[in-house]
Structure 1
Amino acid sequence: MSTADLSEASWFKSSHSGSQGDCVEVAWLGEGAVGVRDSKNPIGPALVFAPGQWDSFVSRLASGE
Structure 2
Amino acid sequence: MRRLLVTRPEPGASRTAQRLEDLGFKPILLPLTETVALPADADRVAYSAAAVAVTSANAVRHA
Length-normalised TM-score, structure 1: 0.19
Larger RCO, structures 1/2 (Cα 8 Å, 6+ apart): 2
Length-normalised TM-score, structure 2: 0.19
Q: Highest Rg: 1 or 2?
A: 2
